[in-house]
Amino acid sequence: MELTIDHLSKRYGQNWVLRDLSLRGAPGMLGLVGPNGAGKTSLMRMIATLLEPTEGTIRWNGQDIRTHGQALRQVLGYLPQEFGVYPEFTGRQFLRYLAAMKGLPRSIANKRVDEVIEVVNLEQMADRKLPTYSGGMKQRIGIAQALLNDPELLIVDEPTAGLDPAERVRFRTLLASLTRNRIILLSTHIISDVEAVANRLMILQEGRVLVDTTPEALLVRTAGSVWSVTTDQATALQLQATYQVSTMVNQMNGITLRIVSATRPHESAVASDPSLEEGYLLAVGRQEARL
């Protein structure tokens, strides 16, 4: 199980949307984080053999997927950003239909469908029509179809967009339960989606890799760059205009801001423990400062 990407680039017309990305995939979850348009979907579609790279190579177990795409597709599960369901089907019928489309032998297809329904915890809803499902349930059906072939490589593109907080947490827990013995690539622009689940984090911005690290290492490098200060409204607004503010909360005694900055932003600011989101803001902010 080896995903190797070397110097991958993608250009649409004159517009480079991914530049010189290299990566060695290992079992576990890699969180691909970046703002909209950073190139996450393009990267995932190239790995899924749905989009041709402009430059660079993607290898699965040492074989170039341009020439050996089938070997990868056999062990690939993919949940795209736009995942359409057929309204006339129940969840179970839909999964049986997709199992047939994916070429699962009839003798094992129904059993496998029951298994994935159990994995995503949809037994109660499996025989109801898909339009009656909540957003989170639809995404769980999406994961269920991606698991039909028990994939070694699972690609999930922005799965939590449009989910409410409870569904988001449930979905994150589900993904966490799937990381054993497979490579999961999860893209998101919400860092809390990968917090406590990803063992590796890649931050993309405008097609370039800003950071490729572990969540723990990102926290370590952010330590000393997050500050808390409680102040009056005028000063708070001034600080907000000058610094990267991660939170701003009204208190009885003033406004408390958390500020991401390499230097102390205010004489009464005290250093605070960083969150992963603040690590992300520091990485992205540094890049913006360079541009």
Ligand X SMILES: Nc1ncnc2c1ncn2[C@@H]1O[C@H](COP(=O)(O)OP(=O)(O)OP(=O)(O)O)[C@@H](O)[C@H]1O
Residues that bind ligand X (CB under 6 A): 12, 17, 34, 36-42, 158
Longest Cα pair distance anywhere in the chain, in angstroms? 71
Of 152 and 193, which CB lies nearer to ligand X in the complex structure? Answer: 193
For the CB of residue 45, give the shortest distance to ligand X in the complex, in Å: 8
173's CB contacts (< 8 A; 6+ apart) are: none
Cβ of residue 6: shortest distance to ligand X, in angstroms?
19
Q: Which is nearer to ligand X, 158 or 277 (CB)?
A: 158
Q: Which is nearer to ligand X, 65 or 229 (CB)?
A: 65
Q: How many helices (H) and strands (E) does the chain have?
A: 9, 14
CB-wise, 23 or 269, nearer to ligand X?
A: 23
CB of 190 to ligand X, least distance (A): 11
Nearer to ligand X, 40 or 140 (CB): 40
Angle between helices 135-147 and 165-176 (to 10 degrees): 20
Q: How many CB atoms lie within 10 A of CB 267?
A: 6
Supply the minimum distance, in Å, between the C-beta of residue 5 and ligand X. 15
What torsion do the CA atoms of 189, 157, 164, 147 make, to the nearest 10 degrees?
A: -150
Nearer to ligand X, 12 or 86 (CB): 12
Cα 13 to Cα 54, 55, 56, 169, 208: the distances in Å are 11, 14, 17, 39, 18
Minimum CB separation of residue 8 from ligand X in Å reads 12
Q: In angstroms, rounded to a whole number, what is the distance separating the alpha carbons of residues 131 and 84?
A: 11
Q: Which lies closer to ligand X via its Cβ, residue 18 or residue 146? A: 18
Distance (Å, whole) CA 148 – CA 109: 8
Write down the least CB distance from residue 250 to ligand X, Å: 32
CB-nearer residue toward ligand X: 27 or 56: 56
Q: Are 161 and 171 in contact (CB under 8 A)?
A: no
Q: How far apart are CA 271 and CA 262, in angstroms?
A: 11
- Residue 77: which of 99, 110, 51, 57 has the closest Cα? 99
Shortest Å distance, C-beta 156 to ligand X: 12
The closest of 45, 131, 35 to 80, measured between CA atoms, is 45
Q: Shortest distance, CB of residue 15 to ligand X, whole angstroms? A: 6
Q: How far is CA 188 from the centre of its chain?
A: 4
Provide the terminal-to-terminal Cα distance of the chain, rounded to the nearest Å: 38
